[in-house]
Structure 1
Amino acid sequence: MRIKFCGTASLADMECAVDAGCDAVGFIMGVTHKSSDFVTAAEAAKMIRHLPPFVEPVAVTHLQETQDLIGLVKESRCTTLQVQNTVEPTELEVIRDALPHVRIVKAVHVTDVSAVAAAKRYEPYADALLLDTRTHERLGGTGIPHDWNISARIVADSAIPVILAGGLTPENVGAAIRKVRPYGVDVHTGVKKDGVRNPDRTRAFVREARNVLSGSPGP
Structure 2
Amino acid sequence: MRIKFCGTTSLADMQCAIDAGCDALGFIMGVTHRSSDVVTPKEAAKMIRELPPFIEPVAVTHLQETEDLIRLVKDSRCTTLQIQDTIEPSEIDVIRNALPYLKIVKAVHVTDESAIAMGKRYEPYANALILDTRTSEKIGGTGIPHDWNISATIVATSAIPVILAGGLTPENVREAIRKVRPYGVDVHTGVKKDGVRNPERTLAFAREARCALPNSWNEG
Q: TM-score range by the shorter chain?
A: over 0.9
Matched residue of 1:131: which SS? strand
TM-score between the two structures when normalised by the length of structure 2:
0.97
Alpha-carbon separation, structure 2, partners of 1:123 and 1:190: 28
Deviations 1:92-129 (A, max 9, x none): 00000000000000000000000000000000000000
Q: Which residue in the other structure is 1:56 paired with?
A: 56
Q: Which residue of 2 aligns with 1:17?
A: 17
Aligned pair count? 216
Give me the whole-angstrom Cα distance separating, in 2, the residues matched to 1:106 and 1:29. 15
Partner of 2:69: 69
How far apart, CA to CA, are the structure 2 residues paired with 1:193 and 1:206?
A: 16
User: Contact 2:178–2:213 (CA<8 Å) still a contact in 1?
Assistant: no
Deviation for aligned residue 1:215: 7.0
SS of corresponding position for 2:156 = helix
In 2: Cα distance, 1:182 partner to 1:158 partner: 10
Deviations 1:55-106 (A, max 9, x none): 0000000000000000000000000000000000000000000000000000
- Name stretches of at least 5 consecutive residues in structure 1 with no aligned partner: none
C-alpha offsets along residues 131-160 of structure 1, whole Å, 9 cap, x if unaligned? 000001001000000000000000000000
Residues 63-212 of structure 1 aligned to structure 2 (within 5 Å): 63-212=63-212
**Which residue identity lines up with residue 21 of structure 1 in the other structure?**
G
State the distance in 1 between where 2:172 and 2:148 align.
12
TM-score w.r.t. the length of structure 1 is: 0.98
CA distance in 2, matches of 1:122, 1:214: 30
User: Contact 2:163–2:184 (CA<8 Å) still a contact in 1?
Assistant: yes
Q: Find the aligned partners of 2:100 and 2:214 in 1 and give their Cα distance.
A: 36
Q: Give the Cα separation in 2 of the matches to 1:51 and 1:124.
A: 31
Moved over 6 A (4+): none
- Distance in 2, matches of 1:166 and 1:118, equals 17
Instruction: Tell me, in whole angstroms, the C-alpha distance in 1 between the residues paired with 2:11 and 2:62.
Output: 23
Measured in 2, the distance between the counterparts of 1:139 and 1:129 equals 15
Q: Could you tell me how far apart the structure 2 residues matched to 1:33 and 1:156 are?
A: 31
Structure 1 residue 213: Cα displacement: 2.3
CA distance in 2, matches of 1:109, 1:159: 18
SS at match of 2:211: helix
Give secondary structure in 2 for the equivalent of 1:82.
Answer: strand
Cα distance in 1, alignment partners of residues 72 and 215 from structure 2: 40
For 2:9 and 2:166, locate their aligned partners in 1 and report how far apart those are by CA, in whole Å.
19
Separation in 1 of the partners of 2:88 and 2:182?
25
Distance in 2 (alpha carbons) for counterparts of 1:92 and 1:161: 17
Secondary structure class of the residue paired with 2:74: helix
Structure 2 residues not aligned, in runs of 5+: none
> Partners of 1:139 and 1:14 in 2: how far apart?
23
SS of residue matched to 2:17? helix
Question: How large is the RMSD of aligned CA atoms in angstroms?
Answer: 0.9
